[in-house]
Chains A and B, each alone.
Chain A
Amino acid sequence: MAAARPIRRLLIANRGEIALRILRACRELGIETIAACSEADRDSLPVRLADRAVCIGRAPSSQSYLNVEALVGTAVAFGADALHPGYGFLAEKPAFAERCARENVTFVGPTAQMIALMGDKIAAKRSARDAGVPTTPGSEGAVANRDEIVDIAKKIGYPLLLKASAGGGGRGTRIVPRAEDLERLLTEAMAEAQVAFGDPSVYVERYLTNVRHIEVQVLGDGERVIHFGERDCSSQRRNQKLVEEAPSPVLDAKMRARICEAAVALCRRVHYTSAGTVEFILDQESREFYFMEMNTRIQVEHPVTEMITGVDLVKEQLRIASGEPLAIRQQDVRLEGHAIECRINAEDHLSGFAPCPGRVAHFRPPGGPGVRVDSHLEAGYDVPPFYDSLLAKVICWGRDRDEALSRMRRALGEMQVEGVRTTVPFHLELLAHERFRAGDVNTRFVHDVLGF
């Protein structure tokens, strides 16, 4: 566990809405804030609200938010005793956490070793198996031997997914529909992997298409691990989440308990500290769930969990980083009502979700009962072209899913963003679809049914 000491001054090593989120938690805990910013973000809301602002580099991420020396150097030069990496950027780079530790700056997150363990997909799966957590049927790791792959394929059945182990981006990836297709597609995948990465090794996995993405929020202090229920993030496009909700509309209490206990078992085994999310896929055909990966950071969609449990996950991260043991017990965690989050991006969904940076001339956030908006948007804000296009997260809570849904429709209807295209119209279309309203979706829904 990290050295126990109260945090007095914290460097926010991120931008946009999550920088604002971190700032708010610090404010409530009486922690002084320093906002590290690029030249493009000097006038943004979290930077103006922070106790101190420090420009760390030019706009491109590589010169600013991905610049380890600049961020840790800022913490050291400006006397910050802790640093919060937010999500994305360097949040899951072990070298960043390691550098902080070396400079005696408390990293708000798990240790570098933990980040490295979960960042290595093979090692993470092995940890899951060791903890008794089910993993997707397939090879234990990368396989370069053709005969071995044929054997595994016989065992796990079709359709199959072949994936190059030495790299990504779809290269060396093939979906194999039937046994007759294996020889040809395996040869192609291995050949492509050889050319692209110099290594023909591939993983083999059962290819599941009718799946939901179910993830469990956990907090650990090094000794205890507790969970805060699951989130269902099945509405995705190109592996990017669009809408998240909690609890999942398809889990009964028994299934919920099984999945959440599996997540806790994994985290307990590795003595996980700070906030984390254990991701599973739920195969709707077999009703089996399988571990996919673990994210060792606070996630974009953490507010839906906060809305149904009342916990402040970022404040809990700060307490844990200060060396405090978890004050919450598992039996204190209650799931009340239903929450949904829509990620509002500066994108045009009718043009392939093309990003639309520009000046926000006018912004009217929604409000009223059960409506939460996490956003750094203001009238006059220039959406920079250098970073992701997330403008705002709109989270609605209701006593049940129907109320949460109708509240979200009401909230998105009254929200106004003038000057840039946003995905509000897309979300209204998604929420209105009868299958979404019935909770009957999978991860291919946005593509297959909505056609995006």
Chain B
Amino acid sequence: MSDTKITPADLEAILKLVESAEHLGDFHLKYGDLELRVSRHAPPAERTAHAEPAPIPLPHAAPPPPRVEDAPPARRMPSADVPTGMATVKAPMVGTFYRASSPGAPPFVDVGDRVQPDTVVCIIEVMKLMNTIHAETAGIVREIRVENSQPVEFGQVLLVIEPE
């Protein structure tokens, strides 16, 4: 019950209603914190997507992602086993993983690269909307667990980073 603020307009409307009820002597309304009495006879209420405001323009038409059946269908997503002491970049949403800003462009990062928390490491595309994903950790990229243009699920480990 959230809308118990009564505005002057509401009050006026209610008084008009009561006024038009010619045979009503006393009117009493209790609603939430509001109590109103009117009488004729008285003496006188992570998603944590790093979505850009506009999609990144692709210089070439992006090819459709390869059909999932081209790869032998995995029953389940790869497990999230992570060596101790390592940080991970996990998918904050379901979508398609891209390593570069467009086909033919160099990947954002490679294994062995040093990254900062605000380094863009990949894109997850959801129905043509591009979401840039950041490292969130300062360190060295040790693993990139997903291939370019593969679909990923929520929470899936994308990169493993050794923190510095």
Contacts and interface: CB of A to CB of B under 8 A. Distances in A.
Interface of A: 39, 51-58, 63, 69-70, 72-74, 76-79, 103, 146, 169, 171, 183-184, 186-188, 190-192, 194-198, 200
B129 to A, nearest CB: 8
Nearest to B20: A146
Contact of B95 (A58, A73, A197): A73
Interface stretch (B24-32, B54-62, B112-120, B132-140): B24-32
Nearest to B5: A195
Given A55-B154, A78-B151, A184-B24, A73 B3 contact: no
A195 B31 contact: yes
Contacts of B18: 187, 191
- A interface, by DSSP: helix, strand, loop or mixed? helix
B17 A200 contact: yes
A78 B152 CA distance: 9
A159 to B, nearest CB: 20
Given A73-B126, A76-B127, A195-B34, A187 B94 contact: no
Contacts of A195: 3-4, 6, 10, 14, 31, 34, 45
B94 A73 contact: yes
Contacts of A197: 3
Of B1, B76, B152, which is in contact with the most chain A CB atoms at under 10 Å from its CB? B76
Given A54-B77, A55-B155, A56-B154, A70 B94 contact: yes
B125 to A, nearest CB: 8
Interface size class of B (residues with CB under 8 A): 35 or more
Contacts of A79: 67-69, 151
Interface in B130-157: 151-156
B27 A103 contact: no
A103 B93 contact: no
Contacts of A56: 94, 153-154
B31 A70 contact: no
Contacts of B4: 195
A41 to B, nearest CB: 12
B13 interface: yes
Contacts, number: 110
A55 B77 contact: yes
A169 B27 CA distance: 23
Contacts of A146: 17, 20-21
Contacts of B20: 146
Contacts of B127: 69, 72-73, 76, 103
A188 B29 contact: yes
A380 B75 CA distance: 22
A192 B31 CA distance: 7
B65 interface: yes
11 contacts: A57-B94, A69-B127, A74-B151, A77-B95, A77-B151, A169-B1, A188-B27, A191-B13, A192-B31, A194-B10, A195-B6
Given A56-B154, A200-B17, A77 B126 contact: yes
B45 A57 contact: no
Contacts of A171: 1, 31
Contacts of A54: 77, 94, 151, 153-154
Contact of A191 (B14, B73, B77): B14
B132 to A, nearest CB: 16
B47 interface: yes
B126 A69 contact: yes
A197 B29 CA distance: 16
Given A187-B24, A195-B6, A39 B155 contact: yes
Contacts of A191: 13-14, 17-18, 29, 36
A183 B31 contact: no
